């Protein structure tokens, strides 16, 4: 949920850059994605789908409650794309969010590498995604797109739309992340978030030989889901 200052910031047209007012939400997105990637990747040590899903989902819930009033609580380039297309955020601010989210993901992934012993880090491939044997990239893109559509649509309807938004939005968004991971982690990897995919892949690229194999699917799928959600909402 947005406070009045943030609502004024993202709903003003044309967008007038104000460094002090703009840097706070951009920094919130950077910090949020950093923590999300760090906790999500660290949870992979458990190797149990429910634990991994809850770690990601509950982290998003807590971050949305804590930082959502500052930035809107996107923490995902695909969500930002959907919100921009829905007309709730100016493209200039959305682009800044996008860059902050990618940088936050890189820092979160770097912290994972700094904290974990090399053998554990290598075992979880630094948190990077990889295709399940036998799956074609096209089907993975479709799966990611469908799951991301669920996530972004949930965000738009519970946190943006004036008729349907609710104080339970953080919980709904966290649930959307958790159920998406539960349903697809063993096949698509269920990134639903290019920032979550890029950081671990880049940081682990020197020790994980396939960290960038078919990496594009975790960009195309989520961004396609954000595109569909934003245009459908519009």
* Per-domain residue ranges of the chain: 4-233
Candidates 1.20.1080.10, 3.30.360.10, 2.40.100.20, 3.20.20.10; correct CATH number of 4-233? 1.20.1080.10
Q: What is the 3-state secondary structure (H, E, C) of 79-135?
A: HHHHHHHCCCCCHHHHHHHHHHHHHHHHHHHHHHHHHCCHHHHHHCHHHCCCCCCCC
Q: Which residues, given as ranges, of the chain have pLDDT below 70?
A: 1-20
Give the residue among 69, 52, 85 at the shortest CA–CA distance from 9.
69
Report the predicted TM-score, pTM, of the whole model to 2 decimal places.
0.90
The reported pLDDT for the residue numbered 6 is: 45
Q: CA–CA separation, 7 vs 119, rounded Å?
A: 46
């Amino acid at each position: 949920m947005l406070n009045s200052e943030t609502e004024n910031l993202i709903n003003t047209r044309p967008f007038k850059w104000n460094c002090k007012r703009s840097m706070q939400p951009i920094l919130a997105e950077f910090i949020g994605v950093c923590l999300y990637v760090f906790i999500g990747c660290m949870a992979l040590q458990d190797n149990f789908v429910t634990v991994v899903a809850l770690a990601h989902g509950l982290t998003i819930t807590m971050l949305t409650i804590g930082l959502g009033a500052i930035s809107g609580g996107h923490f995902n380039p695909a969500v930002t794309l959907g919100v921009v297309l829905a007309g709730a955020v100016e493209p200039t601010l959305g682009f800044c969010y996008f860059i902050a989210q990618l940088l936050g993901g890189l820092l979160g992934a770097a912290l994972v590498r700094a904290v974990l012993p090399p053998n554990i880090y290598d075992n979880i491939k630094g948190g990077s995604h990889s295709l399940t044997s036998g799956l074609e990239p096209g089907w993975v893109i479709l799966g990611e797109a469908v799951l991301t559509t669920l996530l972004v649509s949930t965000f738009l309807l519970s946190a943006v739309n004036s008729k349907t938004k609710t104080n339970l939005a953080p919980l709904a968004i966290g649930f959307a992340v958790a159920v998406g991971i539960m349903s697809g982690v063993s096949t698509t990897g269920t990134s639903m978030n290019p920032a979550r995919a890029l950081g671990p892949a880049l940081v682990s690229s020197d020790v994980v030989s396939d960290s960038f194999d078919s990496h594009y699917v975790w960009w195309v799928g989520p961004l396609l889901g954000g595109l569909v959600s934003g245009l459908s909402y519009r």
